[in-house]
Structure 1
Amino acid sequence: MKSRKLRGLLALASVTVLALGTAACAKSDRDDGGSGDKDTFVFGTPGSPKSLDPSLATDGETFRVTRQVFETLLKHEPGGTKIVPSLAESYEQSPDGLIWTFNLRSGVKFHDGEAFNAAAVCKNYERWYNWTGTYQNTNFSSYWQELFGGFAKNEDAKTPAANFKSCAPQGDLKVVITVDHYSATLPGAFTHASLGLHSPKAIEKYTAEGNPTGEAGKFNYPAFSQTAGTVAGTGPFKYANWDKGAQEVTLEAFDGYWGSPKAGVKKLVMKTIKDANAGRQALQSGDIQGYDLVAPADVSPLKDAGYQVPTRGVFNLLYLGMQQEAEPLLQKKEVREAIAHAIDKQSIVTSKLPPGAKAADQFMPDTVEGYSTTVPKYDYNPEKAKELLKGAGADKLSIDFCYPTEVSRPYMPSPPEIFEILKANLQAAGITVNDKPMKWAPDYLDATDAGKCPLYIIGWTGDYNEAYNFIGTWFAVYDGGWGFKNEKLFADMATVSKEPDKAKRIELYKALNDEIMTYLPGVPLTSSPPSMAFAPNVNPPTTSPLTQENFAEVSYK
């Protein structure tokens, strides 16, 4: 039976390679990569953007698009995590980290013809700082609150105090931004896609439109953020159209772009293709010239057939969340330890993730400064898991386990398949698992955010190389997704976030990782290097471990 199954799999693999090879040969005679238009590049994305204004978004698919249109004061070097100049050609920070001075580039224009200068920078920061009403809801301003705290006038007692104090132009090409206290989010915040800089004229039009409407969970995005006419940045591409029916965003090269490289194609189309198999088929047929999140099993066959399959560096984390309020037994550390010992992380790495993936032992990959080598370990041990459950009076534990469908993420290429491995692990340890499949957006994201899932799988790709961007995202304050209150941990997170000395911060992060894994709020599972695929005749962009690819680098060979 085993040998027959193996022969069948080998035969299927041979057919797949042959089919891919035939498609590659057919495409090699076409200089346009199958698009029928050498001036257009179509890229398949696993999800659709939520907004054309990055400051109103929290999702990677929005940022993938908006990064091509908007630029920030600082950015990351191509292919790496080092912070380098962008719209600011240099910057200085005061020793206490409270005053940030930026020397701006000259001759930069927004897509609507407005000049980029210090006044334009402050117009943006004052817009975010002075948001009122619906804009203060985390559905819209989550990243502003994470990076700079609250607003000039907080309207909710739960909103954090503002850390931003002022933005002051010093002539046309120098700007000074002042904060109340040092934060570990700086200078990384100045690279963040959500703080992409808009044209002052566009901001005036946004303001005239008024606030978004709706109630929690049913908010409507403002019209300007859903249409291509008003929104204007300084990037190598500008918005042309958003066809929501076809799930395509079309960008056009901006001829007045100040920087290098200028766009290598006249049109860039981001087309939503949620299924990895459909992405591969669209690439083979020439309907698209590249796509993201290649299924691990497709990597080698695609390469063998002549496609380009670059792999990003490892800078993400998949974890098992444990919501302690939704399931009171999870408040017992022995139960959380039992679940950790029940999971065979290596089986996920081996069977579901691409080469280079690793089992995780803390809530950040080892590529982030602050990674600790002394965290408590919870090795795969089903028998120990059973003993711990029995000792905690939870040997008949029955628990709901939520997982997303119809989605692929850089840290989680096949959620249903990963769920099945975890379910089998837990049931082997005596835990009854109740399946709760959900559509990714908004159902799954809303349910996990609201603390309605006792167990769930989700993850994170870092925004910048600072440990606070990982563990601070989850453990700085009470979070509904975790449902625990550990005041010592929260206080320790606040201490490290305000430490301006980087070397001291790194040592504090290591201690925090030890503390987090001693408490064990959830189970870190894996970190992996996601892959992209491109037609043979495409010059692809430099892959970014932060998924911050610059598609201006794309051209046809």
Structure 2
Amino acid sequence: MRTSPTTVRRALAAAAGAALAVGLFTACGSDGDTGGDADTAEDFDFSCPERTDGEPQIDEAANESQPFVFGTPGDPTSLDPILASDGETFRVNRQVFDTLLDADCTDTVPGLAESFEQNPEGTEWTFHLREGVTFHDGAPLDGAAVCKNFDRWANFKGGFQSPNFTYYYSAVFGGFAENDPAMGIETESIFKGCTADGLTATISISQYTSSFPGAFTLESLSIISPLSIDAVADVTLPAADSPLPEYTQTVGTLAGTGPYKLQDWNHSEQEVTLVRNDDYFGEPAHVKTLIFKTISDETARRQALEAGDIHGYDLAAPADAQALLDAGYQVPIRGVFNLLYLAYTQGHAPLEDHAVREALSYAVDRQRIVDSVLPAGGMVATQFIPPSLEGYSDDVATYEYDTDKAKELLAEAGAEDLSLTFCYPTDVTRPYMPAPKDIFDIIASDLEAAGVTVEARPITWVEYIPTTRSGECPLYLLGWTGDFADPYNFLGTWFAAPSTEWGFDSPEVFDAIAAANTEPDAAARVDLWKAANEAVMEELPGLPISSSPPSIAFAANVYPPDVSPLTREDFAQVSFTTGS
């Protein structure tokens, strides 16, 4: 993406076995085309937008003197990538820190490693690092620095093992060198070790997993300076509910290798300021100063753009897109790689009853959500992975909207007077969920029409994820934007093992996902993923609702970055232009 020629990127992508089919998709231009409705998987566009209007006249003076300000829906949580699991944190950190491999669209491409290879069993991954790369603090990148990061993560103790902090590491490697029973992690880590030899690092795991090589692109697994690791070596987190350490909230301790360096985090103003890294190993960032400013309300973000207070913002409301285009703003629409769902937490009676979960699923008019809330190009989801991934199955159990059938099933289950608390997030928009309250209102009205009493529980976003993960919400809305093109990144993220957020224990589901994830033969793995997908939808832990293409807005005098279906925009590509 940043420095690699297209031929190198595609060669590595082929070696990685990227699963997405890429078609032709052009970002929205001044003609106002925001795409058509997608009613079936065949109509759905999963490809990656590309800028097609040629290189504009760049305003180099503005790039040097004027900060580029981007409005975000929420604050970042941590400047230490390993202690993060949310998109707003990743948006900032990916400009500062680099990973061994990178993502171009949904292809796996070179990052800090210019090449890699694996052994036939997929249990040894050897990375050949770029020469001459230095961290922002002057430390050199080499194999020892890479191994120091992996060894640090593997040997986390206490609260550092909590999914509240190291969610992605646990999801990828299963556990730690010594699991802390208080953190609830029972699975054995597949990480065996990391060995270094000059500019080479070899990571060994105990068994094949389809998460690799894609997981090496995860922002949580960004490589930080060995001097930074030494500086935080004595920091502890006693418990899962401990506050994040001070070093994660202030600039000055952590150094990466990215095109930008951390300069300031003003918590009161909700601004993070980055400055260009002139020693970056790739093409330097065009704009010298980059500011991410939190504006949680989507209307306020639009108004800030219109007033010239910011130069771009994420998750433009579908209703605003056309008006912005007509006014001369740029509104490129990302390719689609996300999923919104309604979760049924089976720790709450009577949601452990399959007939009740079926009834709730028949009660929801998902097409109404797609038609009235989502941007053009959205579609109803029938399963917990997008149609673009291997393992998507045409044979999953489906639940078409049918209020009468929902009532019949509730009656048969003896749940005619069912009352359920329904949680939804406030003060936030997500790529898969552009208007949480509107979506909640539609689903709640559908459930009430089927005879279910809904008790609304709005929760601020900062508390929403911990609350839903703890199993407190019988019903809740949530979703996922994929990190890399493998079914495990969706199905495995949710259903690989028992968890409080879903509250079910199905050996059939867990075994089906494990079988697919550990099968090294690609052809056999497709069939196993289909079987896993079908097992999940038979269990019906929740109702897949939709997938949709999130948009992003920029001022007319901005040459924007390539927009990413993974929401991984590289702001080093941004420039001011001489246009109005």
TM-score strictly above 0.5 = yes
Q: Aligned pair 1:206/2:232, yes or no?
A: yes
In 1, the alpha carbon distance for the partners of 2:163 and 2:372 equals 37
In 2, the alpha carbon distance for the partners of 1:492 and 1:375 equals 14
In 2, the alpha carbon distance for the partners of 1:294 and 1:367 equals 24
Structure 1 match to 2:17: none
Structure 1 match to 2:4: none
The superposition leaves residues 115-153 of structure 1 with CA deviations (integer Å, 9 ceiling, x where unpaired) of 111111111111111112221222222211111122222
In 1, the alpha carbon distance for the partners of 2:269 and 2:388 equals 38
User: How large is the Cα RMSD of the aligned pairs?
Assistant: 1.6
Structure 1 match to 2:50: none
In 1, the alpha carbon distance for the partners of 2:173 and 2:571 equals 29
The superposition leaves residues 306-333 of structure 1 with CA deviations (integer Å, 9 ceiling, x where unpaired) of 100011111011000001112x221221
Q: 1:426 aligns with which of 447, 457, 475?
A: 447
In 2, the alpha carbon distance for the partners of 1:524 and 1:110 equals 42
AA matched with 2:162: N
Answer yes or no: is the 8 Å Cα contact 1:314–1:367 preserved in 2: no
Q: 1:537 aligns with which of 541, 557, 562?
A: 557
Structure 1 match to 2:363: 342
Q: Aligned pair 1:502/2:522, yes or no?
A: yes
Runs of 4 or more off by more than 4 Å in structure 1?
35-38
Secondary structure of 2:520's match? Answer: coil
Secondary structure of 1:507's match? Answer: helix
Shift of residue 503 of structure 1? 2.3
The superposition leaves residues 29-55 of structure 1 with CA deviations (integer Å, 9 ceiling, x where unpaired) of xx989x998531000010101100110
AA matched with 1:400: T
Answer yes or no: is the 8 Å Cα contact 1:320–1:457 preserved in 2: yes
Answer yes or no: is the 8 Å Cα contact 2:508–2:535 preserved in 1: no
Shift of residue 446 of structure 1? 2.1
Secondary structure of 1:168's match? Answer: strand
Q: 2:274 aligns with which of 251, 260, 284?
A: 251
AA matched with 1:419: F
AA matched with 1:321: A
Q: Which moved more, 1:263-272 or 1:506-515?
A: 506-515
Q: Aligned pair 1:73/2:100, yes or no?
A: yes
Distance 1:364 1:471, change over 3 A: same
Q: 1:232 aligns with which of 252, 255, 258?
A: 255
Shift of residue 64 of structure 1? 0.7
Structure 2 match to 1:267: 289
- Give 1 or 2: higher helix fraction: 1
In 2, the alpha carbon distance for the partners of 1:270 and 1:44 equals 6
Shift of residue 502 of structure 1? 2.3
Distance 1:49 1:193, change over 3 A: same
In 2, the alpha carbon distance for the partners of 1:88 and 1:216 equals 33
Q: Which moved more, 1:295-304 or 1:130-139?
A: 130-139
AA matched with 1:130: N
In 2, the alpha carbon distance for the partners of 1:522 and 1:223 equals 37
In 1, the alpha carbon distance for the partners of 2:390 and 2:139 equals 40
AA matched with 1:421: I
Secondary structure of 1:401's match? Answer: strand
1:398-413 to 2 correspondences below 5 Å: 398-413=419-434
Q: Aligned pair 1:365/2:392, yes or no?
A: no
In 1, the alpha carbon distance for the partners of 2:161 and 2:420 equals 35
Q: 2:143 aligns with which of 118, 139, 160?
A: 118
Q: 1:197 aligns with which of 220, 223, 233?
A: 223
Shift of residue 413 of structure 1? 0.9
Structure 2 match to 1:451: 471
Q: Aligned pair 1:39/2:61, yes or no?
A: no
Q: Aligned pair 1:175/2:195, yes or no?
A: no
Answer yes or no: is the 8 Å Cα contact 2:63–2:287 preserved in 1: no
Q: Which moved more, 1:100-109 or 1:445-454?
A: 445-454
Q: 1:392 aligns with which of 392, 413, 417?
A: 413
In 2, the alpha carbon distance for the partners of 1:216 and 1:97 equals 33
1:302-381 to 2 correspondences below 5 Å: 302-326=324-348, 328-381=349-402
The superposition leaves residues 336-361 of structure 1 with CA deviations (integer Å, 9 ceiling, x where unpaired) of 11111111101101110101111100
Structure 2 match to 1:59: 86
Structure 2 match to 1:23: none
Shift of residue 109 of structure 1? 0.8
Q: Aligned pair 1:464/2:491, yes or no?
A: no
AA matched with 1:269: I
In 2, the alpha carbon distance for the partners of 1:109 and 1:546 equals 27
Q: Aligned pair 1:285/2:311, yes or no?
A: no
Answer yes or no: is the 8 Å Cα contact 2:118–2:124 preserved in 1: yes
In 2, the alpha carbon distance for the partners of 1:346 and 1:69 equals 40
Answer yes or no: is the 8 Å Cα contact 1:114–1:199 preserved in 2: yes
Secondary structure of 2:523's match? Answer: helix
AA matched with 2:277: F
Answer yes or no: is the 8 Å Cα contact 1:362–1:517 preserved in 2: yes
Unmatched 5+ residue regions in structure 2? Answer: 1-31, 33-57
TM-score for both structures, normalised by structure 2: 0.87
Answer yes or no: is the 8 Å Cα contact 1:32–1:38 preserved in 2: no
Secondary structure of 1:427's match? Answer: helix
Question: Alignment length, in residue pairs?
Answer: 518
AA matched with 1:120: A
Query: What percent of counterpart residues are identical?
Result: 52
Structure 2 match to 1:165: 192
Answer yes or no: is the 8 Å Cα contact 2:64–2:287 preserved in 1: no
Shift of residue 98 of structure 1? 0.5
Answer yes or no: is the 8 Å Cα contact 1:184–1:497 preserved in 2: yes
Answer yes or no: is the 8 Å Cα contact 1:38–1:556 preserved in 2: no
Q: Which moved more, 1:150-159 or 1:174-183?
A: 150-159
Structure 2 match to 1:294: 316
In 2, the alpha carbon distance for the partners of 1:342 and 1:446 equals 28
Shift of residue 216 of structure 1? 3.5
Answer yes or no: is the 8 Å Cα contact 1:315–1:527 preserved in 2: yes
Q: Aligned pair 1:105/2:127, yes or no?
A: no
Answer yes or no: is the 8 Å Cα contact 1:476–1:494 preserved in 2: yes
Answer yes or no: is the 8 Å Cα contact 1:309–1:532 preserved in 2: yes
Structure 1 match to 2:38: none
AA matched with 1:69: V
Secondary structure of 1:396's match? Answer: coil
In 2, the alpha carbon distance for the partners of 1:36 and 1:430 equals 59
Secondary structure of 1:376's match? Answer: coil
Structure 2 match to 1:546: 566
The superposition leaves residues 364-421 of structure 1 with CA deviations (integer Å, 9 ceiling, x where unpaired) of 1112222111211111111111111111111111111111111111110111111000
Q: Aligned pair 1:511/2:537, yes or no?
A: no
Secondary structure of 1:271's match? Answer: strand
In 1, the alpha carbon distance for the partners of 2:533 and 2:84 equals 29
Structure 1 match to 2:152: 127
